[in-house]
Amino acid sequence: MNIILHENEEINDLEFNGLKIIQSSNGFRFGIDAVLLSDFAKDIKKNSVIIDLCSGTGIISILLSGKTSVQKIYSVEIQENVADMANRSVILNNLADKIEVINSDLRSLPDSFIPGTFDAIVTNPPYKKYNSGFTNDNKEKLISRHEIMCSLEDVICVSSKLLKNHGAFYMVHRPDRLVDIIDLLRKYKLEPKILRFVQPFATKAPNLILIKAIKGAHSFLNVESPLIVYDLDNSYTEEILKIYNKR
């Protein structure tokens, strides 16, 4: 298959089910957070219709296409060039019948979809608040990392509108935003049900959280044992190796 690559783009092997992804060598590239979220959300029910918000180059959508038996994935990204990259990755993987890339501001989605359309939502949103120390990164990286084009509240508010009652919401974020996250989830009737901290080492504080919420559910939060990324010798732990399909 002939896939056009633009300047500074490359095709990377995801080492899972033969899947590949197009990424820019000088733009925002997916990290372990996206891989962990795709594994965390693999319990999404068969034949579900789901939406991936702040999807970037489509990494989570592409991985979920191999990890689940969902019917349809809508992959939403606001940056036109990044959405185009995601769409070419979908074509590269012959997934156009399962994944539809939407280049749109997520805040406009309630105008495009009937409320309660989706069985599940996954999102790896920007972690940093708008005013939290901008750097000299390029525009693509800034938008991916900072709440410039959407806020945490935007993501959660829109998710609540799009989800079916008892639909599932999955997100990866930073521990320092946990109070905000839980406050906003409950504000918009998404009840936190599973929380898992991710620690780089067993002796280090967590630097990521994985959280699952259910729309309209009763309150009960299950805090799972932490996910440790590295052993003391800096090699991946057995659980991480399994997530990366290396065990």
pLDDT score of 106: 95
Strands 9-13 and 20-24: antiparallel
Task: Judge whether 69 lies within some domain.
Answer: yes
CA trace torsion 193, 199, 202, 204 (10° rounding): -120
Region at 15 (left for phi over 0; alpha for psi -120 to 50; beta for the rest): left
Q: Long-range contacts of range 83-86, CB-CB < 8 Å, 24 or more positions apart?
A: 85/9, 85/22, 85/23, 85/24, 85/57, 85/58, 86/55, 86/56, 86/57, 86/58, 86/61
3 belongs to a structural domain? no
Please give the pLDDT value at position 130: 62
Tens-place pLDDT, residues 90-117: 999 999 999 999 999 999 999 999 999 9
Question: Is the pLDDT confidence value at 129 over 90?
Answer: no
Q: Is residue 4 part of a domain?
A: no
Question: Is pLDDT above 70 for 199?
Answer: yes
Residue 91 included in any domain: yes
**Residue 224 domain-assigned (yes or no):** yes
pLDDT at 147 over 70: no
Any domain includes 151: yes
Q: Residue 49: pLDDT band by 50, 70, 90 thresholds? A: very high
For residue 127, the model assigns a pLDDT of 73
Give the pLDDT mean for 63-67. 96
Q: Which domain covers residue 121, as residue numbers?
A: 9-243
143, pLDDT greater than 60 = no
Residue 28 confidence class, pLDDT cut points 50, 70, 90: confident
CATH code, 137: 3.40.50.150
Pick from 125, 118, 119: nearest CA to 54: 125
Q: What is the pLDDT of residue 245?
A: 86
- Establish if 29 belongs to a structural domain: yes
Number of domains composing the chain: 1
Q: How many CB atoms lie within 10 A of CB 152?
A: 20
Who wins on pLDDT, 20 or 126? Answer: 20
**What pLDDT sits at residue 211?**
98
In a domain, 216, yes or no: yes
Of 124 and 25, the one with more pLDDT: 124
pLDDT at 27: 80
Cα 2 versus chain centre, distance: 28
pLDDT at 137 over 90: no
